[in-house]
Structure 1
Amino acid sequence: MSQAETLKPDRNPSGLSLKRVSKSFGAVQVIHDVDLEIEGGEFVVFVGPSGCGKSTLLRLIAGLEEVTSGDVLIAGTDVTDEDPSDRGIAMVFQTYALYPHMSVEQNMGFGLKVAGRSKAEVEAKVRQAADILKLTDYLDRRPGQLSGGQRQRVAIGRAIVRDPEIFLFDEPLSNLDAELRVGMRIEIARLHRELGNTMIYVTHDQTEAMTLADKIVVLRGGYIEQVGSPATLYDDPDNMFVGGFIGSPKMNFLTGVIKGDRIEIAGGALPCPKLEAKPEDGTRVSVGIRPEHWKPRDDSEEGLPFTVDFAEFLGGSSYLYGTIGDTVCTVEVERSAIAKAGTRLTLGVEAERVYVFAKDEDRIR
């Protein structure tokens, strides 16, 4: 049996339910009637811009903030009024919050020691966690002797030894440089695969969300905008906010007018996709196009006029930055199709790759 397997609980991974959860600070409501179901063993990422409520929602789950209304259930048990220590959760914060005078081993085992666990049990759990996180050679060191990535692994190890029902991560990689963040994303994904616990992870970085999550919860202004797998949110966004937030470079948005089976934009036209709720001719709509879905056309073919302002060569492909009418757009092309500044192109797109949005920014399907 592996060290990871010895740390797995003898129960099935616990799920989480939020039932019309709201949170207000005085007269200001920051979380609005959130309903959410998280299955046991899922890796769920809360993502959204700064101030959208994702960290507040995580703290409500943890019990670090009091719910104004609604219910929080873990493994089917209502824990809304339970103390954080009684909820079966372990939280990893953006700041490592390690004791500088303690060794790695002491930091990882401190919570168990305070809880009155035996010395033998504490040592065993710390050694098992250290083995999983590749910290065995650093157990005698103090936090000041470690890199940022190693200190974050110690903080994660401190959570692992508690054998929680659910792991909560609040932007744990924000303090690391880009290279370390990539490495730690891989470590956290591996940890989830080995332990199998339910994990909820907060980030403002949609790349982290796309690479880590089984399920993404997109938040804005304290409301859930959409819940789904990374592929679902990327391929089938419910509104302009989700379409623009998920994906890098982000989706291009243009304004056009419905005319039969076409959408007229900036002196050109794109095909209109099949829509069950197609607007009447003459209706102004917003059109979303992913950068990789643009296709350069011959001048004789129908499309939109695009003027290149800057070309970014990335090796296997290139990004062209320019304008369609007065709208700045990004186009991903093969390396052989790179164009110099000032070049005028005609861009087309397949009808099924055209996303149409109403005036209120909701998707027209």
Structure 2
Amino acid sequence: MNEQVNLHHIQKQAGVRLKRVSKSFGTVQVIRDVDLEIEGGEFVVFVGPSGCGKSTLLRLIAGLEEVTCGDVLIAGKDVTEEDPSDRGIAMVFQTYALYPHMTVAQNMGFGLKVAGRSKSDVAAKVQQAADVLQLNDYLDRRPGQLSGGQRQRVAIGRAIVRDPDVFLFDEPLSNLDAELRVDMRIEIARLHQKLGNTMIYVTHDQTEAMTLADKIVVLRDGRIEQVGSPSDLYDDPDNMFVGGFIGSPKMNFLDGIMRSDGVEVAGIVLETTALTNRPPDGTPVFVGIRPEHWHLSEDGQPPVPFHVGFSEFLGGASYLYGNIGEKSCTVNVERGAISPRGSMLGLGVDKNHICLFDQDEQRIR
């Protein structure tokens, strides 16, 4: 019973800290001076396009790759030179890597058995993990008798029985179909609520990042572009890369010119919020506006002309795709507000929902 209380109710508060971590393969540098602090108990998601270095960064934390320079600390201890087995971590991979000839219970307990744990201890840990993951009805089955989602739960159970300080997930849902991905996403979120361990999760799917994370780390070309909560990154991106990567459909980026009373877009001046580092009048800028922040222009407000190309009805939401000036634009409208192709609408936007970026694609604040 004491072990069960430990597994279910005592939150592990082992944080992870990366200090100037870099990784090179030969002459190719894939991780570049990454500084990052992850609080104990946080669910942190590394997200970015393919090749950005997110899986490599996870493997550096796990000890599966050697750090070229910098330090990795877990629970305040420098583990840069430690073996993976001594770091207090457990990793769940994209591939389940289950032994086909073993039962679910045997797969989950195999690592403990190899480590020399007693049969009773292994059985207790497996039972606790099965309770958490609702696998009790499958303990005597073999992997070939399970669905993809069930096999992934077994792989997660194999990590849980080790009772780690930190869970590392490397794109664990990418082999599942869309419906199973949603179900497993919910299960992983519930798992974090139950166990309270620090969890670091890698994905290229920004929807997974937005729905799971306490904190998102956006990576590009081996560097951190921005760290923050999902709402911070969505509402207040530091640059156009983050604004375009986080959110689906992505943020619209239009050509603008700074004016004394706002920013000019397609011949219309839009009011903006006060800026500490306001560019001089006449400066070209990029104007970022989320699809849902457009509205049909009200009387007395100069409308931004939007030429409708085509529309998309998705049940709960409808989108209009078209152009403002020479730039493509997406507008989220009420489900009954679909407009025919070739029509022109006048749009407005609240000044608080306008993001401005300079020619280097960095945020103007």
Q: TM-score, normalised by structure 1?
A: 0.97
Describe the shift of the 1:235–1:138 C-alpha distance in structure 2 as closer, same or farther (beyond 3 A).
same
Q: Which residue of the partner structure matches residue 282 of structure 1?
A: 282
Distance in 2 (CA, whole Å) between partners of 1:219 and 1:5 is: 37
Q: Which residue of the partner structure matches residue 309 of structure 2?
A: 309
Q: Which residue of the partner structure matches residue 248 of structure 2?
A: 248
Contact 1:19/1:71 (8 A) holds in 2:
yes
Q: Which residue of the partner structure matches residue 180 of structure 2?
A: 180
Q: Which residue of the partner structure matches residue 337 of structure 1?
A: 337
Residues 194-253 of structure 1: per-residue CA shift (max 9 Å, x gap): 000000000000000000000000000000001000011111111111111111110000
Q: Taking every aligned residue pair, what percent have the same amino acid on both sides?
A: 75
User: Could you tell me how far 1:3 is from its partner in structure 2?
Assistant: 8.8
Distance in 1 (CA, whole Å) between partners of 2:11 and 2:327 is: 54
Residues 294-338 of structure 1: per-residue CA shift (max 9 Å, x gap): 011158631311011111112333111111112111000112322
The residue type equivalent to 2:23 in the other structure is: K
User: Could you tell me how far 1:74 is from its partner in structure 2?
Assistant: 0.5
Describe the shift of the 1:123–1:174 C-alpha distance in structure 2 as closer, same or farther (beyond 3 A).
same
Distance in 1 (CA, whole Å) between partners of 2:12 and 2:315 is: 46
Give 5+ residue unaligned stretches, structure 2: none
Q: Which residue of the partner structure matches residue 18 of structure 2?
A: 18
The residue type equivalent to 1:120 in the other structure is: S
Contact 1:5/1:195 (8 A) holds in 2:
no
Q: Which residue of the partner structure matches residue 116 of structure 1?
A: 116
Q: Which residue of the partner structure matches residue 104 of structure 1?
A: 104
Contact 1:47/1:217 (8 A) holds in 2:
yes
Residues 6-56 of structure 1: per-residue CA shift (max 9 Å, x gap): 414867420011000000000111101100000100000000000000000
The residue type equivalent to 1:339 in the other structure is: S
Distance in 1 (CA, whole Å) between partners of 2:85 and 2:145 is: 30
Q: Which residue of the partner structure matches residue 327 of structure 1?
A: 327
Q: Which residue of the partner structure matches residue 79 of structure 2?
A: 79
Contact 2:11/2:195 (8 A) holds in 1:
no
Q: Which residue of the partner structure matches residue 161 of structure 1?
A: 161
Runs of 4+ in 1 over 6 A off after TM superposition: 1-4
Q: Which moved further from structure 2: 270-279 or 193-202?
A: 270-279
Distance in 1 (CA, whole Å) between partners of 2:121 and 2:317 is: 54
Distance in 1 (CA, whole Å) between partners of 2:27 and 2:331 is: 45
SS of the residue aligned with 2:296?
A: strand
CA RMSD in angstroms comes to 1.5
Q: Which residue of the partner structure matches residue 95 of structure 2?
A: 95
User: Could you tell me how far 1:272 is from its partner in structure 2?
Assistant: 2.5
Describe the shift of the 1:4–1:229 C-alpha distance in structure 2 as closer, same or farther (beyond 3 A).
farther
Contact 2:9/2:194 (8 A) holds in 1:
no
1:184-195 superposed matches below 5 A:
184-195=184-195
Residues 101-142 of structure 1: per-residue CA shift (max 9 Å, x gap): 111111000000000000000001001101111111111111
Distance in 1 (CA, whole Å) between partners of 2:247 and 2:10 is: 38
Q: Which residue of the partner structure matches residue 59 of structure 2?
A: 59
Q: Which moved further from structure 2: 16-25 or 311-320?
A: 311-320
Describe the shift of the 1:363–1:37 C-alpha distance in structure 2 as closer, same or farther (beyond 3 A).
same
Q: TM-score, normalised by structure 2?
A: 0.97
Distance in 2 (CA, whole Å) between partners of 1:303 and 1:65 is: 55
User: Could you tell me how far 1:341 is from its partner in structure 2?
Assistant: 1.2
The residue type equivalent to 1:190 in the other structure is: R
User: Could you tell me how far 1:339 is from its partner in structure 2?
Assistant: 1.1
Q: Which moved further from structure 2: 351-360 or 329-338?
A: 329-338
Q: Which moved further from structure 2: 337-346 or 185-194?
A: 337-346
Distance in 1 (CA, whole Å) between partners of 2:174 and 2:317 is: 29
Give 5+ residue unaligned stretches, structure 1: none
Contact 1:4/1:132 (8 A) holds in 2:
no
